[in-house]
Structure 1
Amino acid sequence: MRAGAPVRVDRTRAGAVVLVNPNTSTATTAMMTALARRALGPARPVRGVTVARGPEMLTDPEALRAAAPEVLAAGLRATAEGDCAALLVAAFGDPGLARLREAAAPAGIPVVGLGEAALLEAAAEGTPFGIATTTPLLADAIHARVTALGLADRYTGLRLTAGAPERLSADPVLLLDRLERAVRACAERDGARAVVIGGGPLGEAAEELRVRCAVRVVAPVPAACRAITRLLTE
């Protein structure tokens, strides 16, 4: 090594990324875990865990509030078991994120929220961004989250799909069609240059929309994985 050259310290932490699904759908946990494994690659194992109690979908503010302590409990169990390099809170509303981040800090375990990561990535370098999602009852919470992250000046607005979230989740073809319309409205009517798909359970649709839409679509699970990679290696 050349004398005086800076030494790069490898801060990579061994262990798995633990993906915590704040709803009780094990099928959704499996889907998001598969997306995270694809995003992180074979060098970083991913372990999916599902909260013990709560609804199968988080579609209103009360469900988000109720999920927060369940996320904290699941995250703490994961860290106690060992082999945990990072935690991913895998719901767009990031329930329990702040408390879990605080609890995991003494152990040096980073905690990333799916919504926070996707929004920050979409808005990077001042990019105007919108959000497309299926949950109208969470609109106010989404707007508040954007503001809390200091991104309101770049936010072009929220576009919601037509139809009940439960019905759309049961029909992947219809879900994709309605989400694509919402994404196109964000770009063509609102001027967004990036569109965040607002929901962990919408992860597979988000991947398809990245191919189908001309505007940059930010899929939340890969965005969270990129944030985790930066925290573990920078």
Structure 2
Amino acid sequence: MTRHILLINPNSSQSTSGMMRAIAQRAAKSALAVAVATAEHSPPMIVTEDDLLAAAGEVVEIGRRHAADCVGIVVSAFGDPGLDDLRRQVDIPVVGICEASMRVAAQGGRPFGVATTTPLLVDAIAARAGALGLAGLLTGIRCTAGDPTALAGDKAALTQALGEMVEACISADEAQAVIIGGGPLAEAAGALEARFSTPVIAPIPCAITSLLEQIPSAQHEMRRTVATAAK
């Protein structure tokens, strides 16, 4: 395969992998192709801290197995399972969607919130903000009601419920940006971006942008594309 970015889906859902790969490829444009690898031992959707911790080892295994064939890796689960260990074990850039989106949301010292569907991951998400030195800017984490897996299977209901959480982050918590916290929520994140004047942050494009900035060949292709479009 040609030089490419590898997106690792720590969830075991193949349909989620396809959706996330498509979003990642749109974000990468023509700079690099995006391939996807899907975990086999995780649940279809990671919803607990135990799920997140259990996924880390397989993320590292997948990343190490593919590192020689790609120029960068995205870990596409909110919570970034295995990210730090994988970085230590490969010599290519590795980016997590939680890390990347929090850095974008917090630009310029901007207070930000997270809207998500997984209440059992709230502590893990808050810990990620703390590890990045951003705990003081996190205004809160708002979670939808009900079973996260069932909600994820109903696109309209998912988008509606997350939209309500975004509104709460803005109106009640005074967030100036809101991240949609979850790889499987990526389509809803895209749908919600246009509904609010306050920035709604989609994590996968943030991760792709961060990764491309670390890959010299991608930077060259992006500059060439911009120059061609300007003619």
Same structural fold, with TM-score higher than 0.5 when normalized by the shorter chain: yes
In the superposition, the TM-score normalised over structure 1's length comes to: 0.90
Write the letter of the residue equivalent to 1:120.
R
Output the CA distance in 2 between the equivalents of 1:217 and 1:227: 17
How many aligned residue pairs are there?
A: 216
Alignment of 1:102-121 (within 5 A): 102-105=88-91, 109-121=92-104
Output the CA distance in 1 between the equivalents of 2:107 and 2:146: 31
Instruction: Say which one has the larger Rg.
Output: 1
Aligned to 1:87: 73
Deviation at 1:203, TM superposition (A): 0.3
Output the CA distance in 2 between the equivalents of 1:203 and 1:44: 20
* Residues 51-75 of structure 1: CA deviation (Å, up to 9, x unaligned): 1311111000100011001101111
Counterpart of 1:52 (choices 26, 40, 48) is: 40
Deviation at 1:153, TM superposition (A): 1.4
Aligned to 2:13: 25
* Residues 171-223 of structure 1: CA deviation (Å, up to 9, x unaligned): 11110000000001101111111001100110000000001122100100001
Counterpart of 1:149 (choices 110, 123, 132) is: 132
Residues 1:132 and 2:115 are matched in the alignment: yes
Alignment of 1:8-19 (within 5 A): 15-19=3-7
Output the CA distance in 1 between the equivalents of 2:75 and 2:34: 13
Runs (4+) of structure 1 moved beyond 6 Å?
none
Aligned to 2:84: 98
Output the CA distance in 2 between the equivalents of 1:103 and 1:32: 25
Output the CA distance in 2 between the equivalents of 1:87 and 1:103: 12
Output the CA distance in 2 between the equivalents of 1:46 and 1:207: 18
Q: What is the aligned-residue identity percentage?
A: 47
Task: State the SS of the aligned residue for 1:163.
Answer: coil
Task: State the SS of the aligned residue for 2:215.
Answer: helix
Deviation at 1:43, TM superposition (A): 2.8
* Residues 95-144 of structure 1: CA deviation (Å, up to 9, x unaligned): 00011111113xxx000011100011100110010000000001111111
Aligned to 1:10: none
In the superposition, the TM-score normalised over structure 2's length comes to: 0.91
Aligned to 1:61: 49
RMSD: 1.1
Task: State the SS of the aligned residue for 2:67.
Answer: helix
Assess if the C-alpha contact under 8 Å between 1:180 and 1:213 holds in 2: no
Output the CA distance in 2 between the equivalents of 1:198 and 1:112: 15
Residues 1:172 and 2:155 are matched in the alignment: yes
Write the letter of the residue equivalent to 2:76.
A
Task: State the SS of the aligned residue for 1:112.
Answer: strand
Residues 1:75 and 2:58 are matched in the alignment: no
For structure 1, the residue ranges without an aligned partner over 5 or more in a row are: 1-13
Output the CA distance in 2 between the equivalents of 1:43 and 1:213: 29
For structure 2, the residue ranges without an aligned partner over 5 or more in a row are: 220-231
Counterpart of 1:185 (choices 164, 168, 184) is: 168
